[in-house]
Amino acid sequence: MRDADWSFGMLALLAITVTVYFARTLVLGRARNSRVDADGGSLLVTKGFMEFGYWLMAPVVSGLARAGITPDQVTALSLVPALAAGVAVANGRFGLACWLSTGASMCDSIDGLLARRVGTASDAGEAFDAVADRYVEFFFIGGLVVHYRGSLGLSLLALASMMGAYLISYSTAKAEAIGVPAPRGLMRRAERAIYFGFAAGFTPFSALLIGPDAPAWQREAPMVLCMALVGGIANLSAVSRLRQIMASVRARDALRALPGPAPMPVALPTVAPGPGTAVAVAASGAAGAAGGAETKRSFG
């Protein structure tokens, strides 16, 4: 089977699902989703495309929930097509890699949807999912590095994509670890997966049009362009995220360095001297001092 045949099959499947979704939209309206409404989409992946994706995965999530499949099992399953996609890319089988990477990416989205559906979302599952995502992305881009090992420039583009992808994920995790809001930015995990998936699908068409004797950067232009976009935008986004995180940390530390308010004066009752007066005055003073110390700690 020619590699281009895989791409033709994926293109036909995409055309069918888009047509069905378009008809559904005309009759019932857009497939609104609370997560999409909260996220709002981005410049690289629009809100409408995200709604289409969630609509496409909804029946799969329902079927897995009825079958008793756990989110962790779906996460673990994503590693199988991801590894196979990396091997396919390393051997220049981009059309086949498109199918495999699409399956891995769908698993990556479905596990979270399934966890919320069955009520088993947990920090442990999130940690497992985050590590699996890094492996999934490494397999694909690692395959690109192997495939382009004969060209220094293309290998560097692939490595730049990998570096940008990991820096974005690391900056988000670091922000959460030090307790500041994780900044949003372009070329997030889902966006990178979509761009690489489409590039893999269209690369065999480019090879057919240009011919096998052309240089790799011409013959595989969609993938080369994708690596340049992902590598450039992801690294710029990572630098922007770093600046936002540093600004948030400095603002937080400056707020913590502000002196706490002075202790409120304690009004002591006017009493006639007596045996217990000294004890009452001392107790009132100690309470005032403790209140002041507690107020300072709350600002420090």
- For residue 262, is it within any domain? no
Instruction: Indicate whether 287 and 170 sit together in one domain.
Output: no
Domain count, the chain: 2
Confidence tier at 213 by pLDDT (50, 70, 90): confident
Lowest mean pLDDT among 1-5, 201-205, 269-273: 269-273
Residues 187 and 295 in one domain: no
Specify the residue for token string 């990416």. 105
The reported pTM is 0.81
Q: Are residues 236 and 282 in the same domain?
A: no
Confidence of residue 182 (pLDDT cuts 50, 70, 90): confident
Residue 51's domain is classified under what CATH number? 1.20.120.1760
Does 282 lie in the same domain as 224?
Answer: no
Same domain, 180 and 143: yes
Specify if 228 maps to a domain. Answer: yes
| Statement to judge: residues 192 and 297 lie in one domain | no
d(CA 132, CA 135): 5
Residue 139 falls inside a structural domain:
yes
Please report whether residue 102 resides in a domain: yes
Domain identity same for 110 and 159: yes
Residue 83 lies in a domain: yes
State residue 241's pLDDT score.
Answer: 93
| Residue 183 pLDDT > 80 | yes
Residues 82 and 216 in one domain: yes
Is residue 263 a part of any domain in this protein? no
Number of neighbours of residue 112 by Cβ within 10 angstroms: 18
Q: What is the mean pLDDT of the chain?
A: 85
Quick check: 239 pLDDT over 90?
yes
Catalytic residue numbers read 133
* Residue 79: its H or E element: helix 71-90
pLDDT at 264: 57
**Residue 94 belongs to what domain range?**
3-257
Answer with the residue of higher pLDDT: 69 or 39. 69
Same domain, 214 and 277: no
Question: Percent helix, strand, coil in the chain (nearest 5)?
Answer: 80, 0, 20
Distance CA 153, CA 175 (A): 33
Q: Mean per-residue pLDDT for 159-174?
A: 93
* One domain for residues 143 and 239: yes
253 pLDDT higher than 50: yes
Query: Domain for residue 188, yes or no?
Result: yes
Quote the pLDDT of residue 114.
93
Answer yes or no: do 272 and 143 share one domain.
no
